[in-house]
């Protein structure tokens, strides 16, 4: 059985469909024949409620958020390690042959 998703028009469960449908009804804008619903127009409580529902009921959403969190953390690891090394009195030395950086007490 496929897990419910909301990405790329895939299947989403009925509870999530109903929440999104209600948000669209409450916040849609019509320009010409096009209907729009901008996320930034939603109240904070509506956004929080939708995010909570998605987190609890949609595995694809969870995977997407966790992947993004992992990416954010990975981009900071080098910076945090460098800061901690400097705070501990270490200085970086780059090996001109291998290109590797090592940290030494100077």
Q: What's the alpha-carbon Rg for the chain, to the nearest Å?
A: 23
What SS3 state is found at 98? Answer: coil
What tokens does 31 get?
A: 């320009």
pLDDT at 73: 95
Task: Assess whether 51 and 79 both reside in one domain.
Answer: no
Please give the pLDDT value at position 10. 56
As a whole number of Å, the end-to-end CA separation of the chain is 60
What pLDDT score does 80 carry?
95
Query: CA 49 to CA 51: how far, in whole Å?
Result: 6
Residues 49 and 83 in one domain: no
The sign of the dihedral angle between the CA atoms of 74, 79, 84, 90 is positive
Same domain, 74 and 45: no
- What is the total count of domains within the chain? 2
Instruction: Please give the pLDDT value at position 11.
Output: 61
Q: Are residues 30 and 67 in the same domain?
A: no
Same domain flag for 1 and 53: yes
Which pLDDT belongs to residue 3?
47
Residues 30 and 48 both lie in one domain: yes
Taking only the tens of pLDDT, the chain with its 106 residues reads 444 444 444 567 888 888 888 888 887 777 777 777 888 888 899 889 889 998 998 888 999 999 999 999 999 999 999 999 999 999 999 999 999 999 999 7
- Does 67 share its domain with 88? yes
**Are residue 6 and residue 45 in the same domain, yes or no?**
yes
Q: With b meaning 16 or more CB within 10 Å and e meaning fewer, what string describes 39-52?
A: eeebeeebeeebee
Could you tell me if 63 and 45 lie in one domain? no
Same domain, 52 and 30: yes
* Structural domain boundaries, residue 29: 1-57
Shared domain for 20 and 70, answered yes or no, is no
H or E element in which residue 36 lies: strand 34-36
């Amino acid at each position: 059985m496929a897990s419910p998703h909301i990405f790329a028009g895939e299947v989403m469960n009925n509870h999530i469909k109903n929440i999104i449908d209600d948000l669209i009804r409450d916040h849609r804008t019509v320009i010409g024949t096009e209907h729009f619903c901008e996320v930034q127009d939603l109240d904070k409580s509506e956004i929080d409620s939708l995010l909570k529902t998605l987190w609890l009921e949609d595995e694809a959403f969870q995977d997407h958020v966790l992947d993004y969190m992992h990416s954010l953390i990975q981009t900071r690891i080098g910076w945090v390690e460098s800061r901690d090394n400097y705070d501990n009195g270490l200085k970086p030395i780059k090996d001109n042959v291998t290109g590797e950086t090592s940290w030494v007490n100077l």
